[in-house]
Amino acid sequence: MDIEIKQKKYRVPRKYWPWIGGGVIVIALLVWLAQSNFTSSLQVDERGLSIATVENAQFNDYVSVDGNVVPIQVVQISPEEGGTVVEKVVDEGSKVHKGDVIVRLSNSNLDLEILNAESELAEKQDMLRNTQLSMEQEQLNNRTEAAQLAMDVQTKKRALSHQTALQKEQLNSREDYLKAKEDYRLAVEKNSLIRQRLSKSAQMRSAQMNQMSDNLASMQRNVELVRQRKAKLDVRSSIDGEVGLLDVELGQSITPGQKIGVINDLSDYKVEAQVDEHYIDRVHSGLAATFTQNGRTYRLEVRKVYPEVHDGRFKIDFVFRDARPQNIRTGQTYYIDLQLGESKKAIIIPKGTFYSNTGGSWIFVLDASGHKAYRRNIRIGRQNPQYYEVLEGLEPGERVIVSGYESYKDYKELKIK
């Protein structure tokens, strides 16, 4: 016989009921507060708002930057030789020409190198002269010996001819004839050997002299190089310009290649500017720019874009495309409009502080009556110093609030009084 098993129903103990009820009430209250705080409307005073009209107008794609005038090039002053400063020939701000001495240095070690090199050169020169004398003396002795042997050949040849004639008449002994013949052959052999020795000696002497001459020339070049190093202790200007910085003191020790100053090339000028990193992908060499001074517009062109970003900005260089202002000076500031793209029709709204609160993702739009404003999602594209380009979310003729939203950024609806 089957027995029916009844499941026991789980019940929350009575002692937990107050806690559960309180938790439900708290959660409901939080949800209500969140919804009411975000969806409820807020009354605002119209006098504290900046209201603009959405337009379909020409959008000029440019950015304004502050440019500073600097020399077209700045050349670093760095000595090729190290030494101690003994004289500052010119001061900062002085005009200099290419080759003018700026600073004079001294280097006792370099002076010692010059003395050693000159002493070694003199020693080599004496050695070369002595070697030349020895070789000339040896050559003279060899020539004398060769002359004597040549004469001996002639003498032995005559003696052989005389003995040969006597031998035909049988007036001498055969031994005398053979001896005369052998003496002649020996004289000829000796003469041949001395001539070979003279030839070999000439070749060896020529090779030895060439090698010593090359060594001497190398030492002379070394001495000249050391003397040139001595001349480089006078630090000279490499261009015509103006000494912009000269950071040296008398008695200061300077190392080779150390930067001690700069020379500004005043033959022309360029303009440096800092641009917000927002535009780094759009700025490149060749872009046109303009600025106005004393009622006249001047044209510039981007020559160089520096890739490094510091404090949210990157640097660019402008050069003039035609005329320069007559009173242009280093350090002047120009307010430049950098053209980023072509101008074209677009839906635009004036720039405002609302962007810092919304990031351009939404905005308050007024209704037809102008007494209410509703939150609406939008998408902003390009921007210039005056306007934002609106890609989505707004239509021409609508009115929007472009002032800051700090006090009501969490509301969906504003009631304007």
The closest alpha carbon to 349, from 387, 318, 315, belongs to 387
Instruction: Convert the pLDDT of each residue in 197-245 to its tens digit.
Output: 877 877 777 777 777 777 777 777 877 877 778 888 889 999 999 998 8
Instruction: Check the CA dihedral 236-237-238-243 and report its sign.
Output: positive
pLDDT for residue 31 is more than 70 = no
What is the pLDDT at residue 299? Answer: 94
Lowest mean pLDDT among 34-38, 99-103, 176-180, 345-349: 34-38
What is the pLDDT at residue 38? Answer: 46
Confidence of residue 329 (pLDDT cuts 50, 70, 90): confident
Domain extents for the chain?
40-60+344-416, 73-105+234-254, 109-231
What is the pLDDT at residue 305? Answer: 94
What is the pLDDT at residue 12? Answer: 56
pTM for the predicted model, two decimal places: 0.56
- What average pLDDT does range 254-281 have in this prediction? 90
What is the pLDDT at residue 376? Answer: 92
- What average pLDDT does range 312-336 have in this prediction? 91
What is the pLDDT at residue 362? Answer: 93
Q: Structure tokens of 283?
A: 């700025």
DSSP 99: T
- What average pLDDT does range 377-404 have in this prediction? 91
Confidence of residue 34 (pLDDT cuts 50, 70, 90): low
What is the pLDDT at residue 142? Answer: 74
Give the whole-angstrom CA distance, residue 173 versus residue 360. Answer: 138
Give the whole-angstrom CA distance, residue 325 versus residue 293. Answer: 8
What is the pLDDT at residue 29? Answer: 67
Give the whole-angstrom CA distance, residue 161 versus residue 265. Answer: 95
Lowest mean pLDDT among 101-105, 358-362, 405-409: 405-409
Question: Mean pLDDT: which of 130-139, 172-181, 214-223, 334-343 is highest?
Answer: 334-343
- What average pLDDT does range 318-341 have in this prediction? 90
- What average pLDDT does range 380-404 have in this prediction? 91
For 249, the 3-state DSSP assignment is: coil
Confidence of residue 15 (pLDDT cuts 50, 70, 90): low
What is the pLDDT at residue 166? Answer: 79
Give the whole-angstrom CA distance, residue 129 versus residue 149. Answer: 30
40-60+344-416 — its CATH code? 2.40.420.20
**Mean per-residue pLDDT of the chain:** 84
Give the whole-angstrom CA distance, residue 384 versus residue 348. Answer: 10
- DSSP of 329-386: -TT-EEEEEEE-S--EEEEEEE--THHHHHTTSEEEEE-TTSSEEEEEE-EEEEE-SS
Q: Structure tokens of 132?
A: 């030349």
CATH for 73-105+234-254, options being 3.40.630.30, 2.40.50.100, 1.10.490.10, 3.30.390.50: 2.40.50.100
Confidence of residue 378 (pLDDT cuts 50, 70, 90): very high
For 97, the 3-state DSSP assignment is: coil
**CA 397 to each of CA 54, 121, 365, 401: distance values in angstroms, whole numbers, following the listed order:** 5, 94, 11, 13
Instruction: Convert the pLDDT of each residue in 102-127 to its tens digit.
Output: 999 988 888 788 788 777 777 777 77
For 237, the 3-state DSSP assignment is: coil
